[in-house]
Amino acid sequence: MNISDQLIKDAFAKGWHTCFYQPLVEPSFDTVKGVEVLFRLKTPSHGIVSPASFIERAFELGFEQDIFQIVLSTALTEVTSLSYPCPVAINVSYNVLDNEKTYESVRALLWDHSYPAHMLTFELSESDDVTECSQALIDKYKALGIKISIDDFGAGYSNINKLLALNVDEVKFDKNLINTNHQNGYALLKSILMFCKEMGIATVAEGVENADTRIYVRNLGFDQYQGFHFSKPVCFQELKTLVAA
């Protein structure tokens, strides 16, 4: 169900939004190593609204930059209230990254929250964003200490050589590549994993929905995983309970 343009505009004008967090988990001991931060609308009439119902339209209406700012600012405020250092990963698009306003506000927010830049990762989707990015743009953020991750890797048909030639810190393997039964998919997965290990690039498996898949990605040597097996995205209150458990 899509929500109306007016409701989207009202939500931004009135601050009807919140962040959800999905744990990034180390597969051997199932310990939380960080969180991916996800934007949600939260309106009086509809409650929590999932991105499928509004995100594309919100981007068309020009709220992409606002969403990035809200997510970064909310996440840094919330995670710095935890009793331990919690790395955060945030989705960002090429358009947002390639904007001087973004760069300056990222610097200011890190400073304001005394949050170490090396605990912040920007996830750039393979399909839309990474191939447009120049090494210079990526390096600009890396120079601040921020890590760059290729998101949804294996979902698109981009030039793998170009992607892997970029100096990134992490690759997140798309859920379809993780859950494939196809022999070619498995071979591709193994060879890219090996490449990442040699290059010192961290690896994350997405879409780990059950115990078997967790064992599978652990045995393959993934550094972290994400998926319903450990937890769906949760609100900040639930995250506190989850990581304290």
Site of interaction with Ca ion (CB under 5 A): 91, 123, 151
Closest separation between CB of residue 151 and Ca ion, Å? 4
Tokens in use for 138? Answer: 């990526």
Residue whose CB is less far from Ca ion, 14 or 232 = 232
Closest separation between CB of residue 38 and Ca ion, Å? 8
Closest separation between CB of residue 125 and Ca ion, Å? 7
Residue whose CB is less far from Ca ion, 115 or 173 = 173
Residue whose CB is less far from Ca ion, 9 or 33 = 33
Do 149 and 171 contact (CB within 8 A), yes or no?
Answer: yes
Residue whose CB is less far from Ca ion, 10 or 223 = 223
Closest separation between CB of residue 185 and Ca ion, Å? 20
Tokens in use for 137? Answer: 């743009």
Residue whose CB is less far from Ca ion, 150 or 193 = 150
User: Distance (Å, rounded) from C-alpha 17 to C-alpha 30?
Assistant: 30
Residue whose CB is less far from Ca ion, 78 or 151 = 151
User: Distance (Å, rounded) from C-alpha 78 to C-alpha 106?
Assistant: 16
In Å, what is the CA distance from 136 to each residue of 44, 93, 143?
Answer: 43, 16, 10
Closest separation between CB of residue 13 and Ca ion, Å? 27
Closest separation between CB of residue 36 and Ca ion, Å? 6
